Chains A and B, each alone.
Chain A
Amino acid sequence: MQGTAARQQPRIQDAIGDFARLVAKAFLGGIGVAVAMSLAILALSANVQAATINETKAGTLLLKDATIDGGYAPAPQVATEVAIDVTGMVARTRVTQVFHNPGSEFVEGVYVFPLPEKAAVDRLWMKIGERVIEGRIREKEEARRTYEKAKAEGKKAALVEQQRPNLFTNAIAHIGPNEAIEIRIEYQQALAYDGGTYKLRFPLAVTPRYLRAAAPAIPDEPKAAEAQALEPGETLLEPSYAPEGCGPLNTVDIAVSIDAGVPVGAVTSSYHETVIEKAGGRTMISLVKDQEEANRDFELTWTLAPGATPQAAMFTQTRGDHEYALLMVVPPQPTAAERAAFDRMPRETILIIDTSGSMEGVSMTQAKAALEMALDTLRPSDRFNVLEFNSIMRTWLPSAVPATADNLARARAWVKQLRAGGGTNMAPALRFALDGGETPGYLRQVVFITDGGVGNEDELFKLIVARLGNSRLFTVGIGSAPNGHFMTKAAQYGRGTFTSIGDVKEVQEKMSQLFAKIEAPVLRDVQVRWPDGTPVETFPPRVPDLYLGEPVLVAAAAKAPLGTVVVTGLRGNQPWSVALTPPPDRNAAGVGALWARAKIASLMDTLAQGADVAQVRPQVVNVALEHHLVSAYTSLVAVDVTPSGPAGGVKTAMVKASLPQGYVGGSIPQTDTPATLQLLLGMLALMSAAIVTAIGRRTARIA
């Protein structure tokens, strides 16, 4: 027994030793691989750290500065002055910014600035010392050539181009050492209006958001920047900055003057402290001085004093041999008795619900909730039908039926069983709903609930335009990122409205607003009658119905001076009309530009409907040149006559900044796969397996 025990002792010790060695080997092997892997990960993720050039929020003039190793440094701004003049539904904004080059070399700066979607940029001034040079409108290519030529000759020049309908760039060549250049841009914008509230936003994008003195080298991706960057060996500026943390001092001064044409109610500034004064028909709003650095967009909202009858206003502007007019009609707030009368007008409501795969989950819950709310608003005198579509279209009933309690109950049961799945094939549903089969005496409304996940937008727009007839199409966008462009345009072509529901919590509120609105139009069959014999070109060409809370805005142009205009319509079933007389002051700023911007937008819309670019382009260019507007095909360019900078090579780089404009929700799709990681982990496991096998064999041999 003892012998056995003694023999076993060393064997156990051996075994423990073997095992310890084995663990040590495996451990060391593991560490080796882990270290190798970590190094690999570190090396690969270094790129991530270096690639954040777009941290800059927009609207900053940026100068390239190689002394901070590829980091882009914003030029300090001395002052920004914003003056906004509101006339009726139009705001004319004048932005004056003084840029100062604190370096010792001539530079070119590129200034990227966001503007509201419908902004019409029409003026550019460049002030150098005491000289003021006004920008001229040119065809895009010509403007660019003019600018490049001036740059090559060492002249100061500025160029304003439209990148997208709401994004512009301003390039300024040859800002001298220690020189300040004042740039002034003017633009028009139509105000947002809904439910009695006007909203005006100015993107306060002039704040340099960061200084990256210790930034790592810009990696190789911004090729556009590099393509125009410095030649090697060139000397660069070294701008002097306030120490990091202080940042350049940015004074922003905003002054707004409102002349709404009708009495103004409450005025609110959403994020900034303001002083509000009322004098005559005008309301003046200015920023309280000594505020902290303004780094939030300026937002102003105001209401009109409500009236029982529709209020209307007319603004005119004479330019050249044309007179331009802007008519604004604020819908009447119907009394309770009138509401009841409106409600007696029976409706035929066709509800369409998107049940494609992309609606699965929360979107489907929202959409069903929205549908049920829609069914709740129907009265027995109304008619309705429900249809769903994904890859195929399915109707609840082949045609609309009266909204009896029994029918509604059956429709609700049908809605309950709907499931999301399949593709998105919208055309058959739209074709069915817009079949021209309107029942006489009924107001036909098509309510279209979808996330707008379609690719063939243009085809669908054509379909809507061709088949709309007397129906009205209301789009309801569901989900966190509904396709706003499609929805807005579809509603526009469908002469209805677009409602966006981003959150399931909003379904109730937004849907009741929509249905309260479309319960009945406040004003139907709106016609604008001009004095006899005056040929007038208006936008929109056909006035849509007025729903509760919506204003109607018509821009018009005529060769002869405009007289009294009569706007007529049906309020409930009663004829209603209002006469508008042009004001004695026939010089309301911006009216002509707004008309031209509407015409350009309408021409650009025809592209979506299949018009030929070769035909549309010259028309857009004509209008834009005549009205001095920046468009997709025209730019503003200002060139100083005297050369002031070095001719030839320009020591600058173009950097694109990003929009700070609040885009709520949504993101670009994720496009990476775990393939690389899986491959690495897989190889690692296979290697470990090989190591363990080898150890196993050696242990076996030793034994």
Chain B
Amino acid sequence: MSGRARALRLVALLLALAGTWQVASAGWIHAKAALAQHLIASAWNGARDGGPSRRPWPWADMRPVARLTVPARGIDLYVLDNADGRALAFGPAHVSGTAAPGSPGNAVIVAHRDTHFAFLRHLAVDDEIDVEGARGVIARYRVRDVSVVDKEETRVLEPADAPLLTLITCYPFDALRPGTRLRYVVVADRIA
């Protein structure tokens, strides 16, 4: 009798622990995404005020290179220079090898579909995006095209002559399981 109750209590406890662990992990992903942006903000402001390009925290393997804002949607993000999986947890990242944001050529920025770039699904053609580069110059882009491509279609990363901004995240936005092959691609032309 009491043995059964104890067994049940143990099962309940284990389930509760596992549940808490999973929820906490999910929460941690979102917390990291939000918290890191604050730390990065101060590193960015330091760099912009004339200081050297700083790392947001001492052991970080990336630094902010641009600030991406969508005034109409209240989006304000700091873009990092390292697009590997670990760094992406902290913010959108500029894909190395593509043009620097604001300079001629195709500047590509990627971020997680469920945190920083969740707003991409609401971006429509003709929406405006501002990108502030390292020297405080703000480039304004206007969305020209929105499409979904396979992850192997690296043509979206290819260089261009004209100044372009390409924002990429995983698609579909609401997928449960990670590891999709599809990418949601927003292409914007520089207008100012």
> Do chains A and B interact in one complex?
yes
Give Cα A44–Cα B171 distance, bound, in whole angstroms.
11
Interface residues of A in 221-255 (CB under 8 A from B): 221-224, 227
Cβ-neighbour of A671 out of B18, B27, B170 (below 8 A): B170
Which chain B residues lie closer than 8 Å to A682 at the CB level? 18-26
Give Cα A45–Cα B168 distance, bound, in whole angstroms.
20
Cβ-neighbour of B155 out of A224, A458, A613, A659 (below 8 A): A659
For residue A400, CB closer than 8 A to chain B, the reply is: no
Cβ-neighbour of A659 out of B1, B84, B153, B176 (below 8 A): B153
B147 touches A668 (CB 8 A): no
Which chain B residues lie closer than 8 Å to A613 at the CB level? 104, 163
Give Cα A299–Cα B176 distance, bound, in whole angstroms.
43
For residue A1, CB closer than 8 A to chain B, the reply is: no
B169 touches A671 (CB 8 A): yes
Q: List the A residue with the shortest CB-CB distance to B123.
A: A223
Q: List the B residue with the shortest CB-CB distance to A658.
A: B153
Which chain A residues lie closer than 8 Å to B4 at the CB level? 15, 18-19, 699
Measured CB to CB, the closest approach of chain B to A598, in angstroms, equals 14
Which chain B residues lie closer than 8 Å to A22 at the CB level? 8
Stretch of A164-172, A436-444, A580-588 at the chain-chain interface:
A164-172
B88 touches A54 (CB 8 A): no
Q: List the A residue with the shortest CB-CB distance to B24.
A: A682
Give Cα A658–Cα B145 distance, bound, in whole angstroms.
14
B26 touches A45 (CB 8 A): no
For residue B110, CB closer than 8 A to chain A, the reply is: yes
Which chain A residues lie closer than 8 Å to B162 at the CB level? 632-633
Q: List the A residue with the shortest CB-CB distance to B1.
A: A703
B23 touches A51 (CB 8 A): no
Stretch of A123-131, A257-265, A447-455 at the chain-chain interface:
A447-455
Given A608-B104, A671-B169, A703-B1, A54 and B157 contact (CB-CB distance below 8 Å): no
Q: Per-residue 0/1 for A662-700: is the Cβ within 8 Å of any B Cβ (1 yes, 0 no)?
A: 010011111111111111111111111110110110011
Cβ-neighbour of B8 out of A358, A458, A681, A692 (below 8 A): A692
Given A457-B99, A485-B159, A696-B8, A675 and B61 contact (CB-CB distance below 8 Å): no
B159 touches A675 (CB 8 A): no
For residue A357, CB closer than 8 A to chain B, the reply is: yes
Classify chain B's interface size. 35 or more
Measured CB to CB, the closest approach of chain A to B132, in angstroms, equals 15
Interface residues of B in 85-108 (CB under 8 A from A): 85, 88-89, 93-100, 103-106
Q: List the A residue with the shortest CB-CB distance to B11.
A: A692
Which chain A residues lie closer than 8 Å to B170 at the CB level? 670-672
B100 touches A672 (CB 8 A): no
Q: B residues near A, CB below 8 A?
A: 1, 4-5, 8-9, 11-13, 15-16, 18-27, 29-30, 61-63, 65, 81-85, 88-89, 93-100, 103-106, 110-115, 117, 121, 124-125, 144-163, 168-180, 182-184
The 7 tightest CB contacts between A and B, nearest first, are A682-B22, A483-B97, A685-B19, A682-B23, A686-B19, A689-B15, A696-B8
B30 touches A675 (CB 8 A): yes
For residue A48, CB closer than 8 A to chain B, the reply is: yes
Given A668-B110, A671-B169, A608 and B105 contact (CB-CB distance below 8 Å): yes
Task: Report which residue of A455, A481, A683 has the largest number of chain B beta carbons within 10 angstroms of its beta carbon.
Answer: A455
Which chain A residues lie closer than 8 Å to B183 at the CB level? 668, 671
Which chain A residues lie closer than 8 Å to B103 at the CB level? 458, 607-608
- What's the tally of chain A residues with a CB closer than 8 Å to chain B? 86
Give Cα A693–Cα B13 distance, bound, in whole angstroms.
9
Q: List the A residue with the shortest CB-CB distance to B93.
A: A669
Which chain B residues lie closer than 8 Å to A667 at the CB level? 151-152, 154
Give Cα A368–Cα B42 distance, bound, in whole angstroms.
38
B172 touches A656 (CB 8 A): no
Give Cα A40–Cα B176 distance, bound, in whole angstroms.
9
A458 touches B100 (CB 8 A): yes
A-B contact pairs, 12 of them (CB 8 A): A19-B4, A47-B175, A48-B175, A164-B161, A223-B125, A452-B96, A452-B97, A607-B105, A673-B89, A679-B23, A686-B23, A696-B5
Which chain B residues lie closer than 8 Å to A669 at the CB level? 83-85, 88, 93, 95, 110, 168
Which chain A residues lie closer than 8 Å to B26 at the CB level? 674-676, 678-679, 682
Which chain A residues lie closer than 8 Å to B178 at the CB level? 670, 672-674, 677
A224 touches B95 (CB 8 A): no
For residue A573, CB closer than 8 A to chain B, the reply is: no
Which chain B residues lie closer than 8 Å to A53 at the CB level? 147-148
A671 touches B97 (CB 8 A): no
Which chain B residues lie closer than 8 Å to A659 at the CB level? 153, 155
Give Cα A357–Cα B148 distance, bound, in whole angstroms.
31
Measured CB to CB, the closest approach of chain A to B185, in angstroms, equals 8
For residue A486, CB closer than 8 A to chain B, the reply is: yes
Cβ-neighbour of A668 out of B8, B24, B157 (below 8 A): B157
